[in-house]
């Protein structure tokens, strides 16, 4: 299982989510950390975001990268309507 680390803006965003949305996001992040990505909506990003991946949870997007030491680093979050 991988560990998850989040940037401060992502941490604040997660704290401010409505309870049901927060549960969905946390469940998807746990699946990502466990390596069970088959049912997750993940996209490899290109161009200026090369090296990053995008996890879609409903209308929300989380941009992350795989860091050394079996770590998933959550870098950015996108709101409904953003194009990540």
pLDDT digits (tens, 9 = 90+) for 58-80: 989 999 999 999 999 999 887 66
Which residue blocks in 1-84 are alpha helix, DSSP H?
8-15, 19-34
Cβ atoms of 74 and 59 within 8 Å: the answer is no
Report pLDDT for 78.
Answer: 75
**Average pLDDT score over residue span 23-40:** 94
Domain encompassing residue 48: 3-78
Whether residue 26 lies inside any domain: the answer is: yes
The domain total for the chain is 1
List, in order, residues 6 or more apart from 6 with CB less than 8 Å away. 14, 73, 74
Beta strands 53-57 and 71-78 are unpaired
Whether residue 83 lies inside any domain: the answer is: no
- pLDDT above 70 coverage of the chain, percent: 93
Whether residue 84 lies inside any domain: the answer is: no
Whether residue 12 lies inside any domain: the answer is: yes
Q: Say if residue 12's pLDDT is above 70.
A: yes
Report pLDDT for 82.
Answer: 59
List, in order, residues 6 or more apart from 42 with CB less than 8 Å away. 32, 53, 54, 55, 56
Query: Domain containing 69 — which CATH number?
Result: 3.30.2310.20
Average pLDDT of the chain, as a whole number: 91
């Amino acid at each position: 299982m991988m560990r998850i680390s989040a940037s401060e803006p992502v941490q604040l965003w997660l704290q401010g989510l409505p309870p049901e949305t927060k549960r969905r996001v946390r469940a998807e992040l746990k699946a990502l950390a466990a390596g069970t990505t088959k049912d997750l909506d993940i996209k490899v990003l290109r161009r200026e975001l090369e090296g990053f991946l995008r996890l879609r949870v409903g209308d929300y997007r989380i941009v992350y990268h795989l860091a050394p030491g079996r770590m998933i680093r959550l870098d950015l979050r996108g709101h409904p309507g953003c194009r990540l």
